[in-house]
Every structure is written in C-alpha cells, then in structure tokens.
C-alpha cells in the first residue's frame, strides 16, 4: 500500500491521461449501442466480421451444455459438449478437425 502513496505524486499526470482514455472509451460505447442514430451508420466491408456486426442478437452457441455437465449417453463428467468428437475417426469440433 506504500506503493500507492508513492504513486500518488505522479497521479496528477496519470489522471489527465486516464480521463482522456475514459472519454474516448465512452464515445466508443455510445456509437456501438446504436444511440447515434442521427448519424449515418458506419459502412463495414462485407467481411465475415462485418456481417456479424450487423446482427444485433448474439448468435447462440451451437453446442449445448449437458445438464450438470454429465453426458447422458456415456456418463462422462466434464467432457466435451455436443456430439462425440471422435465419431468420425478424427477429433471434430464445430466442423473443424483438430490434430493432436
């Protein structure tokens, strides 16, 4: 806690810097929440990320958690969610194969 006291004399310079950071952060928040409707909405390129930005609702995770985290078929606790990853002979997860 003595460290805080030592830092205090430099805090004046820190404060102004932090305030500036705070303002710009708040500014970003306002635009992201859609409150600035009077302005033209930012045109994002047709990138995959851009397409996700247009959609306001969060996409649901396609892999649901098991009740109590216990797989009802195999009685495994704490195992991978969703269908068995090794069912196709490799380790499959959301269409991706993982090598290990």
Partner 1 sequence: MMAGVSRILIRRLSSSQSLPPSVRCCSRNFHFNINGKRDDAKVSNDISQYPVVDHHFDAVVVGAGGAGLRAAFGLSEAGFNTACVTKLFPTRSHTVAAQGGINAALGNMEADDWRWHFYDTVKGSDWLGDQDAIHYMTEQAPASVVELENFGMPFSRTEDGKIYQRAFGGQSLKFGKGGQAHRCCCVADRTGHSLLHTLYGRSLRFDTSYFVEYFALDLLMEDGECKGVIAFCMEDGSIHRFRSKNTVIATGGYGRTYFSCTSAHTSTGDGNAMVTRAGLPCQDLEFVQFHPTGIYGAGCLITEGCRGEGGILINSEGERFMERYAPNAKDLASRDVVSRSMTIEIREGRGCGPEKDHVYLQLHHLPPQQLAVRLPGISETAMIFAGVEVTKEPIPVLPTVHYNMGGVPTNYKGQVITHVGGEDKVVPGLYACGEAACASVHGANRLGANSLLDLVVFGRACALTIAETGTPGEKLSPLKPNAGEESVANLDKIRFAEGTIRTSEIRLNMQKTMQNHAAVFRTGDLLKEGCDKMDAIYQSMEDIKTFDRGIVWNTDLVESLELQNLMLNAVQTIHSAEARKESRGAHAREDYQDRMDELDYAKPLAGQEKKSFDQHWRKHTLSTVDIKTGKVTLGYRPVIDRSLDQEECSAIPPAIRSY
Binding site for partner 1 (CB under 8 A): 2-3, 6-7, 10, 13-14, 17, 47-48, 51, 59, 62-63, 74-100
Shortest gap between Cβ of 20 and partner 1 (angstroms)? Answer: 11
- Contact, 62 vs 82, CB < 8 A? yes
**Torsion, CA 48, CA 60, CA 32, CA 44, rounded to 10:** 10
Q: How far is the CB of 99 from partner 1 (least distance, A)?
A: 4
- Nearer to partner 1 by Cβ, of 20 and 31: the residue is 20
């Amino acid at each position: 806690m003595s460290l805080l006291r030592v830092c205090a004399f430099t805090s004046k310079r820190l404060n102004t810097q932090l305030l500036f950071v705070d303002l710009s952060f708040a500014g970003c928040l306002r635009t992201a929440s859609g409150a600035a409707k009077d302005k033209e909405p930012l045109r994002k390129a047709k990138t995959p990320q851009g397409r996700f930005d247009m959609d306001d609702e969060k996409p649901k995770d396609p892999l649901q958690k098991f009740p109590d985290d216990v797989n009802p078929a195999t009685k495994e606790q704490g195992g991978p969610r969703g269908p068995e990853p090794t069912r196709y002979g490799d380790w499959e997860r959301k269409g991706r194969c993982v090598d290990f």
